Amino acid sequence: MLKLPPLTSLLFPVAFAALWLPSLVLSAENKEGKFFGAKSTEYPDWFKESFLNLPDDIEDAKAAGKRLVIFFHQDGCPYCNALVERNLAQKDIAEKVKNNFDVIGINMWGDREVTYVNGKQYIEKTLAEALKVQFTPTLLFYDENGKIVLRLNGYRSPRIFGVDLDYVALRKENEINYRDFVKANLPAIEGSSKDMHKEDFFGKEPYNLAVAAGNKTPIAVFFEQQDCPDCDTLHQKVLPDKELRKIISHFKSVQLDMWSKTPVVTPQGEQTTAREWANKLDIKFAPSIVVFNEKGEEIIRTEGSFKVFHTQGILDYVLSGKYKDQPSFQRYLSERADNIREKGKDVDIWNYAGEAAGKK
C-alpha cells in the first residue's frame, strides 16, 4: 500500500497537493499556481540502523572511536538532497563521515519513538520541536557524554562542511572556539569578492539599533565577512529578487563585518562591537541574517545557504507577525506557499532570483 507523506510536512500541502488531494474547482482567472523544487532523497546505506535509543547509540559510537550525529530531515527537502548528493557524494567527505561518525536520520515530522540522550521519551516530531528544529537539514554532533558539540542549522557547501566535520572529528571544541577554527582552516576560493557587498537598504554608521518605546519596525542584521563566496551568492543571486526587496524595505537593516571592531548599539541598548556581538550571538556562518521583532527580540536567523523562497519566508515570518501564532517555521512556510498558489502564482523553493520556475 502506498504510504502518504506526513500531513505536517512542509512539502505535503504544497508539493503533493496535486497528487493526493481532490482537485479544487477554480475559475480560469484564479487557477492555482504550480509548485516546483521538491526533491526526494535516498539516504546512504551506511547511515546507522538505530533503535533510536540515543544513550546506547552514543556508547556504541564511543566504543568505535566515533561520535554520534543526528540528521533531521523531511520529505522532499531540496537542501537535504543537496547535503546527500553534493556533499556526501564526494569521496573525501563521505570517508571522513564514515570513519568518524555514526549518523542517524530522523524525520522531523516522523512518529517513531526516540529515547533522547537525557533518557526522556519522545517521538521524532516532538523531539524536533523540543530541540527547536526550524530548518532541514539540521545536524547535531554529540560528544561522548551526550553534549551537543556543534549544531548546523541548514545546508552548508562542501567547502565549509568539511571544516565543520574536522572541528568535531578532531575534538577541537576544548582547544579553540568554533568560529576561530573555521576562520583559520576554511580554504580560500579564487574569484570571490574581497570586499563587503553594499545594498541600498543597509543603514549607515553609526549603528544604533536600540529599540525605542513604540517602535514598529523589525530589524534585520546581516553578519558577513570579506572573501566570502556564500556572501557573494546572497548578494548576486538572492537579494536581487524584487519581492524579497519589498519585504526587506519594511525592516531596519544593517550589514556588519562579523570580525570587525565597528561600534554597535544592540536592540537591547548594549554598546559593543560587531565582533563581540557576533561572538555573543554565536554566529557560526557567513552570511547570517539575524531577525528581530519590533521589540528587539530575536525571532529567527539564517545559518546556512538559502535560496529566494526561504529567505523571503524567514523575513516575512517576522514582518507578518505569524511567529506569534505559528511557532513552527516549517508549517508557516507551508501555509505561505499555499497562500501564494491560491493567488495563481507559482512557487519554486529551489530557484535563485531571475531564474525561470522549475529550473534545476
Taking phi over 0 as left and psi of -120 to 50 as alpha, with beta for the rest, 210 belongs to: beta
Residues 104 and 288: their CA atoms lie apart, in Å, by 27
pLDDT tens sequence across 271-326: 999 999 999 999 999 999 999 999 999 999 999 999 999 999 999 999 999 999 99
**How many residues belong to the chain?**
360
pLDDT beneath 50, residues of the chain: 1-28
- CATH fit for domain 54-185, picks 3.40.190.10, 3.40.50.720, 3.10.129.10, 3.40.30.10: 3.40.30.10
Taking phi over 0 as left and psi of -120 to 50 as alpha, with beta for the rest, 171 belongs to: left
Q: Give domain limits for the chain.
A: 54-185, 207-325
- Cα three-residue angle 333-339-340, rounded to 5 degrees: 90
Give the per-residue pLDDT at 30: 66
β-pair partners for 291:
220, 300
| Contacting residues for 283 by C-beta, under 8 A, at least 6 apart | 179, 223, 258, 290, 303
- CATH second-level architecture of 207-325? 3-Layer(aba) Sandwich (3.40)
Give the per-residue pLDDT at 360: 59
